[in-house]
Amino acid sequence: MSDTDSKTTRDRFRLLLDQANNRVVAGGLIVVLLLLPAALNAFWTRIAVGALMWIGLAQSWNMIGGYAGYLDFGHGAYFGIGAFAAGITMTTYGLPFIAGLSVAAIVCAIVALGVGIPTLRLKGAYFAIATWAFAESMHELALILDITGGTFGMSLPTGADAIILPLSGPPTEMFFYYVMLALAVGTTVLAYVLFERSEFGFRVKAIRDNEDAAQTLGINAERIKRQVYVLSCSIAGLFGAANAFYITFIHPNDVLASILTDQMIIMALLGGLGTIAGPIVGGISIFMLDRMSSLFLGTSTLYLPMIGLLIMLTVLFAPSGIIGILRGEVGLTEIKDNVSELADKFNFTR
Amino acid sequence: MVSTGLLTQTLINGLLLAGIYMAVGVGFSLIFGVLEIIDFAVGQYVMVGAFAGAALAPILGSEALLAVPFVFAAFFVVGVFVQPLIHHVTTGDRPMPLLMGLVFTFGLARFIRGSVLTIAGPNSRDVPTSIAVGSFSIPSIGTFPMVRVATALFGVAALAGFLYYLYRTEGGTAIRSVAEDRDISRLMGVNINRYQSLSYGAYAAMTASAGVFIGMVYSASVGMGMQYTGFAFFMIVLAGMGYLPGIILSGLVLGIVQSLTAVYLGSEYVFFILFGLIWVLLLVRPTGLLGKGEVA
Amino acid sequence: MASLTGCTGGSGSNSDRETFRFGIVTSLSGPLRYGGQVTKRGYDLWKNRINEDGGIEVNGNRYEVEFTYADAQSDPSTGADATQKMIDNEDVDAMLGPYSSQVPLSMGPILDQNQMPCITGSSESPELWRNQHEYLFGTIPSVNVFVGDVVEMLLSFDPSAETAYITGVNGPFSKSAAQGMRAGAEAAGVEVLGYELYPADADRSSIISEAQSAEPDVHLNSGNIDSNATFMASAQELSYEPNGVFQHYGINTPGYKNAGDAAAYTFGATLWLPQAGRSGGQLWGDSQTYADQFQAEYDKLPEYTEAASSATGVVYQEALAELGAEPPLTGDEQTQLISILEEITVDTFWGTIDYESEGENYHNNITTNPLAIQLNEDLDPEIVAPADVAETEPTYPIPSWSDR
């Protein structure tokens, strides 16, 4: 058996193993996730709920930003619109949580369609600023409207009757864990099927890589961009609704804050843009880093600049994110090359 | 209740605000043109500038105006050394350079803000001046607060200086050619690294100096930066992206719309209207009010 | 061997902890960071002081106090997680709460579900109490209640005002304060010429110009300290001269001095000042003693929020003594502590503290009497009303800008 032969056989075998592995790993992971709350106390369950939410949100941004290449800087607006849509459904109309969730998704889809049709004609920085301005204006609007509670915000019902499920007592951390788990796994599977395993995904990536070329190949870019945008925004709305019921108090300064969008982008980018695993890894690591620092460091705020520094270093030296490092795309040699390239830029005589 | 006195005073307030915004918008517009990045850290340079003014003024006889040259020089150096980092993340074989630039400067903004909070603490600081105090009035026209007049003059002077340099000097021509096309400029022998760094240095110096003035008008606080980032976005959209003289018009619109809205429509709506305006304007006229910005 | 004995002396768990452990959730970063520091100073001073005394006295024994902090980042969802951490992982006996209302509003349901007592030394927003959380208490009266009272005092100064103009930042706390101002003006029979809320970041000059053209007798404005300092500086720049300017919050804080000379003669409301002459209770015999100790520790005069945060500690001290249980508290004891807090009336250097047990101010202490204050030329606060505690006559109408 020659050397090359053994290599290909090994590679084939490894590929086979990888595929089998992927399924086993995914299956195993889901079982673990389903059983996880049994091993956690209420506090750690809450942390898991937060991590799941951010995985889903980062994944939803990744759909429009990572796969379609449209830098949505106003994605957080839909988190807030979903939160208030659910809040109004549940308080003003006294409907249960499931109605709040559905209304949030529908309202976000309608708004995203209306906003998306004109805004998606813009590209690059123009699209980024337009979506940012849209999100900021939604924040300001929520502060002056009456139905959102204006600057006083809104408290949601906390009682048992808000969930029409055979559960006794008010919703617990466990309940929200499974809600967020369903949403996050659903979002991830949907993203995987749509963007990695279907023709739709190839079209979306073709638009990202070269929109004009894609169009000449007969891809209806307008329609596909719109579909991705509406889908990703409705998902953000669903998470907004679930979070609103979970936190019980929503305020425009919290659920419509621009920091939400920033966080989603950073998670997707640091994890690895345009990949399924990226937002999962990025979502968990950034959320944990931030939340654990604020809860366990007592009174120090030193973690805030450190997170900023981490973002800068990642963009500088590992632009394909943590996934890039794990896949071996970014190793020591790449970082060394990066550093020497960077040093070159400091040569001001060039 | 609409009296002409109120109207003229409102317009004066708006004009003076416009000068403040021009000081922030001019550098931002320049680096958008030259480096093709949207710098999220712009507001944080304003904030650090204000804190630097607050820290230096006591040494300089409680006069923050005297701190301006020091702040200018210090941030020029800072900018010159930050620029290569930004250049690095937006070039090479990286995917989505625009996003990389945005996220890098976002990280930078978070770093600056977190550092100031950790070092200086949460309290806001006074940025004292004893020269630019009080106000003067012109009968039947209105009142002009001195500190705001000084700030507006700084903004206008900075803008004029920038425009002069860009359009009337060799260095300015080189910078404009870099803004036009980086690769062709390099082929024509323009020293890219140097002029890009010069531009970013000038921008950081201008913006931080503007921060000293803004600190004199209000005060220095850790949270003040974000709104100037927002205003800077607003200004380049209205001006037409990358079109520097447009900053005059966009500064005026930003200042006057704000003051007119506050008086004649209700202060609550000020920001809603401003942000809504940017969005609508981008949809109907992405090349800016004058139609001279880069085409989307 | 010595260490071995040390180990066998206890099971190493919490069950024989000899200290009372308090969990503190407050905002050390984010927009509410100023308030977070204020509460922290107040709570810390109480802890240092009580531990110097040997600790909280229960049934003749003394138990020291320990704190564990978490940063709520001014974010309700972080605040909620922090609360759960205090309950599950830190095993605290009771909690001390944050500044503002947004964060406590998300903490409330968790406190109730886990039966964890929490008193906040520093939330003035009325909506917190309308939600009726059983385990949440507040030492500072709702802003709309006490600011209105002070505004009424101000409007009766001679020559009594006939018109007023009200402005405020469009934030949950400032809007409640502005509503309180409007209620106070209406109660005093004064015509309100304008009522306008503005975003926190908006430039004030045109808002002031508009008020100026309405020529009110007095101007009432609400916002945070920075915002109020900016307001006053802008009023000076534009030569806006009503007979009096009243602002809430924080005219007697160091931050307000950022307005410079313009700050002089501003009227304000407070619930406590070192010279308020309040006395009684444990640790600090009267308000001046407290102020002196605070000054020695932090090199500044205490604000009423800082004092209220320390006084909250004194309330816990009395309530725990009455409960008579050793640390760590069991769930039942924590529930009993709630009933004690509802019933108890505590005299402190801050004044008498008595939490409501029903109504729209449920679990809020609204017994503390507010004071009208005015800054003098040196920017020091002086009590000008009510008459029984006033230190001096108000300077009213205030001198015009050119006469200063």
pLDDT tens string C275-315: 988 988 899 999 999 999 999 999 999 999 999 999 999 99
| pLDDT of B292 higher than 90 | no
In one-letter notation, the amino acid at residue C359 is G
Residue A330: pLDDT band (50, 70, 90) is confident
CA–CA distance, A281 with A335 (Å, rounded to integer) = 21
The CA distances from residue A260 to A78, A80, A287, A318, in Å, are 10, 9, 12, 23
| pLDDT of A8 higher than 90 | no
A147 token code pair: 């139905």
A130 at B interface, C-beta within 8 A: yes
Cβ atoms C359, C155 nearer than 8 A:
no
pLDDT in tens, B196-234: 888 999 999 999 999 999 999 999 999 899 899 999 998
CA–CA distance, C186 with C193 (Å, rounded to integer) = 11
Residue A14: pLDDT band (50, 70, 90) is low
Residue C245 three-state SS: strand
What mean pLDDT value characterizes chain C?
91
B5 at C interface, C-beta within 8 A: yes
CA–CA distance, C204 with C237 (Å, rounded to integer) = 11
Q: For B96-100, C196-200, C328-332, C395-399, which range has the lowest pLDDT when averaged over its residues?
A: B96-100
CA–CA distance, A131 with A133 (Å, rounded to integer) = 5
Task: Quote the pLDDT of residue A19.
Answer: 67
Residue C52: pLDDT band (50, 70, 90) is very high
pTM of the model: 0.91
Q: For B129-143, B195-209, B269-283, C381-395, which range has the lowest pLDDT when averaged over its residues?
A: B129-143
pLDDT in tens, A132-143: 999 999 999 999
Q: For A95-109, B66-80, B105-119, B130-144, which range has the lowest pLDDT when averaged over its residues?
A: B130-144
Residue C3: pLDDT band (50, 70, 90) is very low
pLDDT in tens, A65-88: 999 999 999 999 999 999 999 999
Q: How many CB atoms lie within 10 A of CB B28?
A: 26
**DSSP characters over C90-154:** S--SEEEE-SSSHHHHHHHHHHHHHT--EEES----THHHHT--TTEEESSPPHHHHHHHHHHHH
Task: Quote the pLDDT of residue C124.
Answer: 84
Residues in chain B: 296
Residue C105: pLDDT band (50, 70, 90) is very high
Task: Quote the pLDDT of residue C345.
Answer: 96
pLDDT in tens, C59-100: 999 999 999 999 999 999 999 999 999 999 999 999 999 988
B115 at A interface, C-beta within 8 A: yes
In chain C, whose CA is at the least distance from the CA of A49?
Answer: C81
Q: How many CB atoms lie within 10 A of CB A277?
A: 16
Interface contact flag, A266 B268, Cβ < 8 Å: no
Interface contact flag, A129 B237, Cβ < 8 Å: yes
Selecting from B6, B145, B268 the residue whose C-beta is nearest the C-beta of C210 gives B6
Residue B66 three-state SS: helix
In one-letter notation, the amino acid at residue B247 is I
A89 token code pair: 């459904």
Task: Quote the pLDDT of residue C6.
Answer: 34
Using CB atoms and an 8 Å cut-off, which of residues 74-103 of chain B contact chain A? 80-81, 84-85, 87-89, 92, 94-96, 98-100, 102-103
Per-residue pLDDT averaged across B267-283, rounded?
Answer: 91
C210 at B interface, C-beta within 8 A: yes
Task: Quote the pLDDT of residue B180.
Answer: 78
| pLDDT of A187 higher than 80 | yes
Per-residue pLDDT averaged across B106-132, rounded?
Answer: 90
Residue position matching structure tokens 């502005």: C178
Cβ atoms C355, C341 nearer than 8 A:
yes
Residue position matching structure tokens 């209000």: B218
User: How many Cβ pairs closer than 8 A exist between chain B and C?
Assistant: 109
| pLDDT of C12 higher than 60 | no
Per-residue pLDDT averaged across C169-193, rounded?
Answer: 94
| pLDDT of B72 higher than 90 | yes
Q: For A174-183, B102-111, B166-175, which range has the lowest pLDDT when averaged over its residues?
A: B166-175
What mean pLDDT value characterizes chain A?
89
| pLDDT of A27 higher than 60 | yes
Selecting from C77, C127, C131 the residue whose C-beta is nearest the C-beta of A247 gives C77
Task: Name every chain C residue with its beta carbon within 8 A of the beta carbon of B13.
Answer: 203, 205-206, 209
Task: Quote the pLDDT of residue A328.
Answer: 81
Task: Quote the pLDDT of residue C7.
Answer: 33
Task: Quote the pLDDT of residue C14.
Answer: 53
Task: Quote the pLDDT of residue B97.
Answer: 84
Selecting from C68, C82, C105 the residue whose C-beta is nearest the C-beta of A249 gives C105
Task: Quote the pLDDT of residue C78.
Answer: 95
Task: Quote the pLDDT of residue A3.
Answer: 47
Task: Quote the pLDDT of residue B168.
Answer: 87
Task: Quote the pLDDT of residue C361.
Answer: 93
Residue A2: pLDDT band (50, 70, 90) is very low
pLDDT in tens, A49-70: 999 999 999 999 999 999 999 9
Interface contact flag, B267 C202, Cβ < 8 Å: yes
**Higher-scoring residue by pLDDT: C8, C77:** C77
| pLDDT of C396 higher than 60 | yes
| pLDDT of A327 higher than 70 | yes
**Higher-scoring residue by pLDDT: A18, A126:** A126
A253 at B interface, C-beta within 8 A: no
